[in-house]
Structure 1
Amino acid sequence: MSIVSVKEHFRTFNREQDVLEFATSSATVEMAAATIGVIPARIAKTLSFRGVNDDAILVVAAGDAKVDNKKFREVFGFKARMLSPDEVLEQTGHEIGGVCPFGLARELKVYLDISMQRFDTLFPACGSTNSAIELTCDELALYSKSTDWVDVCKGWDEPPLSGDGQAL
C-alpha cells in the first residue's frame, strides 16, 4: 500500500502521473537499473539508519555509492547502524526494495549524498518493489523535504577497475 502514499505525496506537486510502475521488479539497484535501462549509479537508493532517540534518518545516495563509516560519524556524530526490515517498515511505511523519502509514515530527516550530484536525473523508488520516478537533484531535494546535502559515501568517485584490479 505504500505506493499509494507516495502517489498521494506526488499529487500535491501534480506529479503523481510521473510515478512509473513496472511489470518486473526494481527491488535492488541492479534490478531497477536493468528494468529502467540506465546504469546502476543513476538509481537513487534510500538507506535507513538508527538516529538519535531511535528515530530513523534517511540517506539517499547514488546506486554505486557505499556508506563510509568514518564520514558518516563525522557528519552525524554517531555510528552508522542500519535499521532492520521491520524497523524500516515501521519508520518509513515502505518495505525493503521500495524504500524512498516520499509518502513516509512519519516525519523523518532526509539527507541527500553528494554522490548523486553528478547526474542530471536519477530514479528513486516510489514505495513498492516495482516503481520509480525520474527526478533531477533539485526535484529530489524539494519532494523529499531534505534537510541537507552530505558527503557520507565512498566508492562512487573512484575510477572503475578492470578485471585485474587496475584503474581503467
Structure 2
Amino acid sequence: MASEHVRSYFQTLQYEEHILTFSEQTATVVQAANALQVIPARIAKTLSFYAADGTAFLVVAAGDAKIDNAAFKAAFQVKAKMLSPDDVLTYTGHPIGGVCPFALATNMPVFLDISLKRFQTVFPACGTANSAIELTCSELKQFSDAKDWVNVCKAWDAELK
C-alpha cells in the first residue's frame, strides 16, 4: 500500500510524525486546502508526465499553477502529456489523489516548479487521498530527491505568500 511505503520512508528520516491524515478526502487541491485550512496555492500538487524516451517524470507545482506548454516543452524537450491513470500507479506506486514525490515505485526524476518558492511551507500528499505533510521548500527538495527547480507553470499569483 502506498501510504505504508510513504510512512516507512518518512520513518527512516525520523519525520513520520509529521504526516497528517484526515477523515475527509484531500484528493484535489480544493479538498486538501479545505482540510488543511490553507489557501489552495499552498497545496503542492504532484503532476506526472511522459518523457521523450517513453519513461516518466514528476513536476511538483503550487496548487494555483497551471502548466505553461511552451515553457514545459523548452525545459523538457517534449510536449506536456500527463500519464494515464494506470501508468500513474505503475510509475509512482501511488493512486491518483494521493500521488506524491516520495517513496516512488520507480526511479523517476522529480522536478519542483518555482511557483512553490513563494511559501514558507507547502503541503504535498503522502500516498493517499486523505493525507499530507507540511514541508519547507528545502525539505521538499531534499525528501523528494528533486533534480532541480524549473519554471514550467503559469497563472500563479506571485503576490500570494
Q: Taking structure 2 as the reference length, what is the TM-score of the superposition? A: 0.97
Once the two structures are aligned, what percentage of the paired residues are identical? 57
1:78 maps to 78
1:33 maps to 33
Question: Partners of 1:24 and 1:15 in 2: how far apart?
Answer: 23
Contact 2:43 2:62 in 1 (8 A): yes
Structure 2 residue runs of 5 or longer lacking an equivalent are: none
Tell me, what secondary structure is at the counterpart of 1:100? Answer: coil
Structure 1 residue runs of 5 or longer lacking an equivalent are: 161-168
Question: Partners of 1:71 and 1:158 in 2: how far apart?
Answer: 17
**1:11-160 counterparts in 2 under 5 A?**
11-157=11-157
Tell me, what secondary structure is at the counterpart of 2:46? Answer: strand
Alpha-carbon deviations, 1:19-44, whole Å to 9, x = none? Answer: 11100000000000000100000000
Alpha-carbon deviations, 1:30-89, whole Å to 9, x = none? Answer: 000000100000000000000132211100000000000000000111111000111100
Regions of 4+ moved over 6 Å:
none
Question: Partners of 1:89 and 1:35 in 2: how far apart?
Answer: 24
Q: Which moved more, 1:7-16 or 1:39-48?
A: 7-16
Contact 2:47 2:59 in 1 (8 A): yes
Shift of residue 158, structure 1, vs aligned partner: 6.5
Alpha-carbon deviations, 1:121-157, whole Å to 9, x = none? Answer: 0000000000000000000000000000000000003
Shift of residue 11, structure 1, vs aligned partner: 1.3
Alpha-carbon deviations, 1:93-127, whole Å to 9, x = none? Answer: 00100000001101110000000000000000000
Q: Which is greater in Rg? A: 1
Question: Partners of 2:144 and 2:113 in 1: how far apart?
Answer: 13
Question: Partners of 1:106 and 1:8 in 2: how far apart?
Answer: 16
Q: Which moved more, 1:78-87 or 1:150-159?
A: 150-159
* Count of paired positions: 160
Question: Partners of 1:82 and 1:25 in 2: how far apart?
Answer: 22
The amino acid across from 1:49 in the alignment is F
Question: Partners of 2:6 and 2:159 in 1: how far apart?
Answer: 35
The amino acid across from 1:17 in the alignment is E
Question: Partners of 1:155 and 1:12 in 2: how far apart?
Answer: 37
